[in-house]
Amino acid sequence: MSKQTHSFQAEVAQLLHLVTHSLYSNPEIFLRELISNASDACDKLRFEALNDAGLYEDAPNLEVRVSFDKEAKTLTITDNGIGMSTQEAIDHLGTIAKSGTKDFMGKLSGDQKADAQLIGQFGVGFYSGFIVADKITVESRRAGMKPEEGVRWISGGTGDFEVESITRAARGTSVILHLRDDAEEFLNAWKLKQVIGKYSDHISLPILMEKEEWKESEKEGEPGAMVKTGEWETVNKASALWTRPKKDITDEQYQEFYKAISHDYENPLTWSHNRVEGNTEYTQLLYIPAKAPFDLYQRDKHAGIKLYVKRVFIMDDAESLMPSYLRFVKGVIDSADLPLNVSRELLQESRDVRLIRDGSVKRVLSMLEDLAKHDKHEAGAQADGVTDVVSEEDKAKEGKYTQFYAEFGAVLKEGLGEDFGNRERIAKLLRFASTTSDTPSVSFADYKARMKEGQEAIYYITADTLAAAKNSPQLEVFKKKGIEVLLMTDRVDEWALNYLQDFDGTPLQSVAKGAVDLGKLQDEAEKKAAEEAAEAFKPVLAKLKEALKDKAEDVRATTRLVDSPACLVVQDGGMSTQLARLLKQAGQKAPDAKPVLEVNPEHALVKKLDGSVHFHDLAHILFDQALLAEGGLPEDPAAYVKRVNALLA
DSSP class of 149: G
> Does the pLDDT value for residue 78 go beyond 80?
yes
Three-state DSSP class for 522?
A: coil
pLDDT category of residue 338 using cuts at 50, 70 and 90: confident
Average pLDDT (264-270) is 89
Report which secondary-structure segment, H or E, holds 233: strand 225-234
Q: What percent of the chain has pLDDT over 90?
A: 37
HEC secondary structure over 543-604: HHHHHCCCCCCEEEECCCCCCCCEEEEECCCCCCHHHHHHHHHCCCCCCCCCCEEEECCCCH
11 within 8 A of 96, measured Cβ to Cβ: yes
d(CA 600, CA 76): 79
pLDDT category of residue 285 using cuts at 50, 70 and 90: very high
Q: What is the pTM of this model?
A: 0.68
The pLDDT, as a whole number, for residue 116 is 45
d(CA 348, CA 362): 19
Nearest partner of 257 among 316, 202, 206, judged by Cα: 202
Half-sphere exposure of residue 518: CA atoms within 13 angstroms, side-chain side: 26
Three-state DSSP class for 191?
A: helix
What is the gyration radius of the CA atoms in the chain, in angstroms?
33
What lies within 8 Å, CB to CB, of 14 at 6+ separation is 105, 108
The pLDDT tens digits for 376-414 are: 644 444 444 545 555 666 677 788 999 999 999 999 999
The pLDDT tens digits for 587-599 are: 666 666 788 888 8
Instruction: Return the ∠ at Cα 18 (arms to 14 and 20), rounded to 5°.
Output: 115
The pLDDT, as a whole number, for residue 429 is 96
pLDDT category of residue 261 using cuts at 50, 70 and 90: confident
The pLDDT tens digits for 90-147 are: 888 876 644 344 454 555 555 544 444 444 444 457 888 888 999 999 999 999 999 9
Give the residue ranges of the annotated binding site for ATP: 33, 37, 79, 84, 98-100, 121-126, 173, 344
Q: Where is mean pLDDT largest: 29-43, 50-64, 524-538?
A: 50-64
603 within 8 A of 609, measured Cβ to Cβ: no
Give the residue ranges of the annotated binding site: 33, 37, 79, 84, 98-100, 121-126, 173, 344
Compute CA distances 613 → 226, 441, 458, 539, 621, whole Å. 102, 50, 43, 16, 14
The pLDDT, as a whole number, for residue 560 is 79
Phi/psi at 271 (nearest 5 deg)? -155, 165
The pLDDT, as a whole number, for residue 442 is 94
Provide the terminal-to-terminal Cα distance of the chain, rounded to the nearest Å. 84
Average pLDDT (334-342) is 79
Q: Which residue has the higher pLDDT, 231 or 315?
A: 231
| Cβ neighbours, 10 Å, residue 434 | 24
> Does the pLDDT value for residue 257 go beyond 70?
yes
d(CA 241, CA 260): 12
d(CA 563, CA 259): 55
| Cβ neighbours, 10 Å, residue 578 | 24
d(CA 333, CA 324): 17
| Cβ neighbours, 10 Å, residue 542 | 11
β-bridge partners, 113: none
DSSP class of 280: S
Q: Which residue has the higher pLDDT, 535 or 353?
A: 353
344 within 8 A of 332, measured Cβ to Cβ: no
Nearest partner of 447 among 427, 466, 462, judged by Cα: 427
- In sequence order, what DSSP letters do the residues of 311-361 get, joined into one string? TEEEESS-GGGS-GGGTT-EEEEEESSS-TT--HHHHHH-HHHHHHHHHHH
Q: Which domains does the chain have, with CATH numbers?
A: 4-237 (3.30.565.10), 242-367 (3.30.230.80), 431-648 (3.40.50.11260)
- In total, the chain counts a number of residues equal to 649
- In sequence order, what DSSP letters do the residues of 442-477 get, joined into one string? E-HHHHHHTPPTT--SEEEEE-SSHHHHHT-GGGHH
Nearest partner of 410 among 505, 299, 304, judged by Cα: 299
> Does the pLDDT value for residue 441 go beyond 50?
yes
d(CA 581, CA 564): 23
d(CA 521, CA 454): 6
Classify each residue of 265-293 as buried b or exposed e, where b means 16 or more C-beta atoms within 10 Å of its C-beta: bebbbbbbbeebeeebebbbbbbbbebeb
Report the mean per-residue pLDDT for the chain. Answer: 83
The pLDDT, as a whole number, for residue 100 is 40
Q: Where is mean pLDDT largest: 111-120, 301-310, 631-640?
A: 631-640
- In sequence order, what DSSP letters do the residues of 353-410 get, joined into one string? HHHHHHHHHHHHHHHHHHHHHHHHHHHHHHHHT------HHHHHHTTHHHHHHHHHHH
Nearest partner of 449 among 428, 470, 463, 469, judged by Cα: 428
> Does the pLDDT value for residue 443 go beyond 60?
yes
| Cβ neighbours, 10 Å, residue 220 | 5
The pLDDT, as a whole number, for residue 18 is 67
The pLDDT tens digits for 172-222 are: 999 999 999 999 999 999 999 998 887 787 788 899 999 988 887 777 767
d(CA 64, CA 69): 17
Compute CA distances 239 → 74, 261, 320, 442, whole Å. 28, 15, 26, 45
Classify each residue of 633-646 as buried b or exposed e, where b means 16 or more C-beta atoms within 10 Å of its C-beta: ebeeeeebeebeee
> Does the pLDDT value for residue 292 go beyond 80?
yes
The pLDDT, as a whole number, for residue 226 is 77
d(CA 150, CA 173): 10
Instruction: Return the ∠ at Cα 121 (arms to 117 and 127), rounded to 5°.
Output: 80
Residue 249 amino acid letter: I
